[in-house]
A and B are shown apart, each in its own frame.
Chain A
Amino acid sequence: MSFPMIPELLGRLFRKPNTNPFPAAQLPPTVTGLLEKVGKGEARLNPPVPVPAKLRGKMTYNRETCIGCKLCIKVCPAHAIDFIESTKKIRIFVAQCIQCGQCTEVCPKNCLALSEEFLNASHDRYADALVVD
């Protein structure tokens, strides 16, 4: 009869939990209430887990250097990039983008890059924060 879990459990009783309490340790009464307090500086959100250097997050797009060659549209697996005929520029929908970074490699003018911004959740797929153009 052996129960190897017991020493591990009792040991853990006197150590800090492993969970990173981002954004808050317990669920606040109302999330919007908490966010307002944070806005007014009365409350503070716990920081997320630190992110490594070359994390593939939200797209960034330099509109000036783009020449409208549409190569990025050709390699994008997720149809995340739309071409704007009138201005010969592109528009990227972050909600569809799968952060593969293939367009950043194929672009002859290097105007596309992946930032380290990963907090992109939103209720509206086409919110302003989620459309890069």
Chain B
Amino acid sequence: MKTIEVKKPSGYATQIGPAHPALKEPVMFTLDIEGERIRRVDFVPGMAHRGIEWMGMRRNCIQVMYLAERICGICGITHAISFVRAVEQIAQIQVPNRAHYIRSIVGELERIHSHLLWAGVAAHELGFDSAFYLAWRVRENVMDLLEYLTGNRVHYAIIQIGGVRRDIVPDQFPRIEESMKFFENAYAQLAAVFLDDTTVRMRCRDCGVLTTDEARELCPVGPTARASGIKKDVRIDHPYAAYADIEMEYQTPDLLTGEVRGDVYDRIVTRLLEVKQSIGIVRQLLAMLPDGPLLAIPKPAVLLAKLKGAAGEAVGRHEAPRGEVMHFVRLEAGKDEPVAWKVKASSYSNYLSWIPMMEGEQIADIPIIAASIDPCISCTDRVALVRPDSRRILTKEELHRLSVEKTRRIQAALAKRENP
């Protein structure tokens, strides 16, 4: 790892987070800084841990599937696809091909919406709010398309163990094609604003660098790895869903800029290239959409019975917008709920690469470097631990009473201080 030897022992520690305008989710960075330069950084996640794996081991597989979908607010379908693929391998359920294609299409649409959301957040971290509004304005189109196809903007509830629950019918094709055309010329404008802008280049070039061998050792995934030249993409390496039927290329920055530097700028380039790639994939899959049933086992009650009989362990993986998401599931015969369920979100692997990126940089760069791996902290924190106070649950009235009491106490203290 790139370590910085510092002559002077001066400098002081400061802290960014857990609540800070730059961080959309609670994670705490403790920084050893000297003037503006960062010498050492340490981060503490875990503030948004909700105990989803623990909850998952007390629900049957259909319920767990919707729980998995809510691990992350942005990449819901990736966790659903990964969990469902693991359970299908254990129960040996062959999913009809049309369902594979619909899963991949909605997965790619989610990649477009997630990357545009990230582009907006990154622009806001740079203080470039107009690009934030532009990116999120363009993103509305794919959100409306997803709402049109799946009935909801974020949590699509379209995945079921053994297939999908909603069909993409031919009279929806023109609406999809119209959105894809919109995104093609929107891509040109976004690429200009995010890549050719002088100030963005000044802020992002050679900032937060992750060298190729650092990237290989720390095993980051997704755009963070590809921006450092590591060719890792689950859709290409691991043949699954509809991705096994089409040819794709690893999106590394040299396709556009001709060189790989592994800095924040390259991560922007990688993500924009992926948006363009996703548009192409959606069109290809729509053209090759096979017809056939949507569900291997249409009736949920029959499905539950079959899952109760299944036993074994398997790994389900999917290329989330932020990188590889992996679910390890182990089922035992006669038990409804999974015996073991391990969720590995993409930010889980990308966390460690924060350290080499931030050391040696300025304080001003922390927000953009932290945002450059597109951390999804709610994905990575999954166990909720409530302080074990002995009292029972506080109802709303009690909470209200407590807060009123506290305000009275503060006012009394203030009054005492004003005129002792």
Is the beta-carbon distance between B151 and A55 smaller than 8 angstroms?
yes
Cα A51 to Cα B147 in complex, Å, equals 9
Q: Return chain A residues, CB-CB under 8 Å to B63.
A: 75-77
In the complex, the answer to whether A55 meets B301 with C-beta atoms within 8 Å is: no
Residues of B within 8 A of A33 (CB): none
The total of interchain contacts (Cβ-Cβ below 8 angstroms) comes to: 78
Q: Kindly state whether residue B189 has any CB partner on chain A within 8 Å.
A: yes
| Residues B70 and A98 in contact, CB atoms below 8 Å apart | yes
Whether the pair B152, A5 counts as a contact (CB closer than 8 A) is no
Q: Using Cβ atoms and an 8 Å threshold, which residues of chain B touch A110? A: none
**Is A54 part of the binding interface, using a Cβ–Cβ cutoff of 8 Å?**
yes
Please measure, in the bound complex, the distance between the C-alpha atom of A102 and the C-alpha atom of B158, giving whole angstroms: 10
Interface residue A111 (Cβ < 8 Å from any Cβ of B): no
B407 within 8 A of A: no
User: How far apart are A84's CB and chain B's nearest CB, in angstroms?
Assistant: 21
A52 to B196, CA, bound (A): 37
Query: Within 8 Å of chain A (Cβ to Cβ): is B59?
Result: yes
Query: Which B residues are CB-close (under 8 A) to A106?
Result: 299-301
Instruction: List residues of chain B with CB within 8 A of the CB of A127.
Output: none
Q: How large is the interface on B (under 10, 10 to 19, 20 to 34, 35 or more residues)?
A: 20 to 34
Contacting residues, chain B, for A54 (C-beta < 8 A):
151, 166
Dominant SS among interface residues on chain A:
loop
Of B130-138, B245-253, B367-375, the stretch lying at the interface with chain A is: B130-138
The answer to the question of A43 belonging to the interface, with a C-beta cut-off of 8 Å to chain B, is: no
* B130 x A5 contact (CB < 8 A): yes
Question: Which residue of chain A has the shortest Cβ distance to B145 in the bound complex?
Answer: A52
B349, CB-defined interface residue at 8 Å: no
CB-CB < 8 A to B131: which residues of A? 5
B157 touches A52 (CB 8 A): no
Residues B48-93 near A (CB distance < 8 A) = 59-60, 62-67, 70
Is the CB of A128 closer than 8 A to any CB of chain B? no
Residues of chain A lying within 8 A (CB to CB) of residue B151: 52, 54-56, 101, 114
Asked if B197 and A4 make an inter-chain contact with CB atoms under 8 angstroms apart, the answer reads yes
Check A31 for interface membership: any CB of B closer than 8 A.
Answer: no
Q: Mark B122-142, 1 if CB is under 8 A from A, else 0.
A: 000000101100100100000
Which residue from A3, A51, A77, A114 sits with its C-beta under 8 Å from B197?
Answer: A3
Q: In the assembly, what is the distance between CA of A52 and CA of B199, in Å? A: 40
Q: How far is the CB of B192 from chain A (nearest CB, A)?
A: 4
Interfacial residues of chain A within 1-26, with CB under 8 A of chain B in the complex: 1-5, 8-9, 18
Flag if B198 contacts A98 (CB, 8 Å): no
Does B304 have its Cβ within 8 Å of any Cβ on chain A? yes
Chain A positions within 8 Å of B, measured between CB atoms, are 1-5, 8-9, 18, 51-56, 71, 74-78, 98-102, 105-106, 114
- 6 nearest A-B residue pairs (beta carbon): A77-B63, A77-B66, A4-B192, A56-B151, A100-B157, A106-B300
The interface of chain B, by Cβ under 8 A from chain A, is 59-60, 62-67, 70, 128, 130-131, 134, 137, 144, 147-148, 151-152, 155, 157, 165-166, 189, 192-193, 196-199, 299-301, 304
